[in-house]
Structure 1
Amino acid sequence: MELPSTALLPHAYQSLVRLGTHLPFAQVVKELQALLDICISEATVRRCTLHTGVIAEAIQTEQAHPQQTRPRFPLPLATPNEQMVMGSDGGMVPLKGGVWAEVKTAVFAQVVTETASKSASEKGKTHDHSYFSRLTDAHTFADLASAEIARRGITIAKSVCAIQDGAEWLQGFVDGHRCDAVRILDFAHAAEYLGRVAEQGELAGQHVPKGWLTVMLHELKHHGPTRIMKHLAWWQKHRPLPSVSDALRYFGKRLAQMDYPQFQAQGWPIGSGMVESANKVVMQARLKGAGMHWEPGNVNPMLALRGEMCNERWEESWQHQQRWCKDQRHMQRRQQSEEKRARCAQELRVRIVHICLRLPSSTFAPQPAPRKGRTEGQKRWGRQTFSRHVLQEGSAKK
C-alpha cells in the first residue's frame, strides 16, 4: 500500500507535514489532537516534516540541473509574458550557537500592463508572485534558482526589469539569467541614504531646511538624480558629513539605475516591496519565531516546503514526492538484490575453494592424453572382436 514509515495513514501524514510547514512543531501536536484526534510527539512531527523537506529540496535541485540527471520531474512549459519583474534580497535567520546566516530570496512576478490595468493607479503594480529561497552562497543560489526562472519564463519574456538594492551579488544574479534586464535601484533604499543625510545634519547642529527630505524625494522620483547629486556635492563642500560621502559614493555608481521618471513612464515599478514581503512570507513567518534557533542542515528543507506552499503548488509537489519515494524504494530493492547476488556468488566461490582444499593433490594433477592404438590388455591377449551377431549365435546355442 506504500504507507509511510510512521503509523499514520497518507491523509494524516500529509496533514502533519502541511501543518509543520505553517506552524511551530509544538503547536502542530495540539492541532493534530484537536482536528484529527491524533496523539503524536513533537519529535515525530519534526522528523516527518524535515524528512519531507529533504525530498522536496532534492526534487527542486534535480529540476534546476536537468542536463545532469534523467528528467523525472519536467517543468511545465512557460507562457511568455510581455513584462516580467524579478527581485532578490537577503534576510537573516537565527542558527544554533547564537549564529546568524543570510537566507537569499528571489521573487518573480508579472507587471500589470496598460491594456490589463483597469485604472491608472494599477499601472506598474505586480501580480502572480512566486518565490525561491535558500541558505547558500550567491553562486549556488543562482544555479538553484534557474528552475523557477525557467518556469516563470523570465528568459523568454519580451522585457524584464530587476528591482533590488545595490549589493554586488544581486548584480551577478541578474547578469547570469537576464543580462539585458532593466536595472532599477529600489526607491526606498535610495530614500534611506537621503534620510541619513538629513538626520546626521540635524544631529550635527547644521541647518537643514524644513521639508528638505520631502522635496528631495519628490525631485528624485519625478525628475531623476541630477539635482540630488548637486545638493549632495554642495553639502559635501560646505558641510562635510560621513553620510553625505556615503550617499555620493553610493549614488555615483548607480545613476543609471535611478532614472525613476523614465522607469515609471515605461510601466515599471520602482519599489522592491514585493521582495521585502517575500522575506516575511517565505522565511520570517516560519523560521524567525520567538526562541527559534535552527540547525543549518534543517533550514533549506523547511524553505523548500515553504516555497511550495507559498507558490500554491503543494499538490503537485506532494505527487512528485510520492513518486520520488517510490523510485527510491525501487532503487533500494534493486541494490539489495544486486548485493545479495554478489554475496551468493562470493559464498559459492568460497565453498568451491574449501571443497578443492579437501581433495587430494592428485585430483588436480594433469591427466595424460589417451594413447592411440592397442591397449595393454589387447597386446597381452590379442585383439578380440565381439560383434552383435556372434553374441546372439552364442546365446542361441546355449
Structure 2
Amino acid sequence: MIPTAPRLDRIKPSPSGTMSQRARDLRAAGVDVITLSSGEPDFDTPEHIVDAAAAAMRGGQTRYTNIDGTPALKQAIIGKFERENQLHFKPEEIIIGTGAKQVIFNAFMASLAPGDEVIIPAPHWVSYTDITLLAEGVPVVLPCAQNHGFRLQPGDLAAAITPRTRWLMLNSPNNPTGSVYTREDLAALAEVLRQHPQVAIMTDDIYEHLLFDGRAFVTMAEVAPDLKPRTLTINGCSKAYAMTGWRIGYAGGPANLIKAMTKLQSQSTGPTSSISQAAAVAALNGPQDFISVRAAAFQERRDLVLGWLGRVKGLTCYRPEGAFYVYVGCAGLLGQKLPDGGTIETDTDVALYLLEHRVAVVQGAAYGLSPYFRISIATSTALLEEACARIAAACAALT
C-alpha cells in the first residue's frame, strides 16, 4: 500500500458527487432512483457547437495550444465580457482552464499563503471551502439568512474581515439557493471592500444566463469598476451552453495573477483540450437565443417543484431567482420518527431517508447551512413530478 499525503486529510469528497454516485450504484443494482443531486443541464449541447468541434478535428486542431488558451478563444471571451458585462480585458488578463473549478483552484493555489483567509458566504458551492483548505487557506464561512435572500449583508462582511483576509468569494446566481445579487447589493458590499484594499474579490458567474422572472445580471467588476484591478471574474460554458463534459472555464483578472495561474497550470493539466476550445469559440460567438428558451424551461420546472413541495408538511421552499436548484428547508422534519423507529435529527438524515424512497438529493450541511436539502431541477418535468410525489410520500410516512 502507498501512503497518501496528509494534505488530503484537509478535504472530503464532493458531497454532491458522492450522492450522485450512490444513486448510480443503486440504479446499477436495479433500483429505480431519480437523481436530483447533479448540477448538470439535461439539454444537449447545441448542434452548431458540436459542428464547430467536428470541424476543428477535421481541420487538424488536435494539438497542444497555449497554456492559457487559444488566441481565438481569448478574443471570444474578451468580446463576451465587453458585450454582456461592460468589462474590458486584454489577452494577458484572460485564462482558460479545464472547467471553472480548475480556474478557482489555480487562483487560490497561486495566491494564498498558509493561514490566509477566504470569506465564503453560505450556502455555498461545496468545493469553495475544500479548495481553500487544499491551498492551505482558512475558509471563513458566513451564514446568510433566508430572510435576506441568502445574500451576504455588508455589516456581516465588515465584521468578518481581518488582516489575514485575502479573498471574498461571491456566487450569483447562487448554487444551491438560486439567489441573485442585485446591483444595489453589490454596490453596498463594494463600499465595505473599498476600506480593505488587501481583500481581492472572486466572482463565480457560471449561472449568469439562467435567470428567472425577468431579472438582470450584474457582476462586481461591472458595478464597481474601481475594484476591477483586484477582482477575478470567473465564468464558463458548462451551464448556459450545456457543455459540462467539454470542460471549459475561464476568467478575466489582473495580469499578474493570470500569469501566476498560467505558471501553475503549466505544471498540472497544461492547456485545455484544443477541440473543446474551438467549440467554446462557437458557443460564445454564435447564436445565443436558445439560452433564454432553456432558462424559461428551468423557470417552469421551478414553479412546478415549488407548487408540489409547498404543499408538503414539514418542508418550506425558498423561491429561486436563477440557476437550476431549489433549496428546500426541512426544519419541520427534524425530530420526527422514521418508519423503522429511528429519528430524523439532521438534514443528512433527511437526504438518506429520501434516498431510501428512491430520490437522490444533497443535504444542506454540504453547502454550509442547515437544515435544508438541495434538489436539481435540471431534469424532465415527468421525472420532477414523480420525484416530488416520492418526497411527499416519504414525508407523510414520518410521525
Same fold (TM over 0.5): no
Structure number with greater Rg is 1
Tell which has more relative contact order, 1 or 2 (C-alpha 8 A, sep 6+). Answer: 2
TM-score range, shorter chain: under 0.3
Calculate the TM-score normalised by the size of structure 2: 0.23
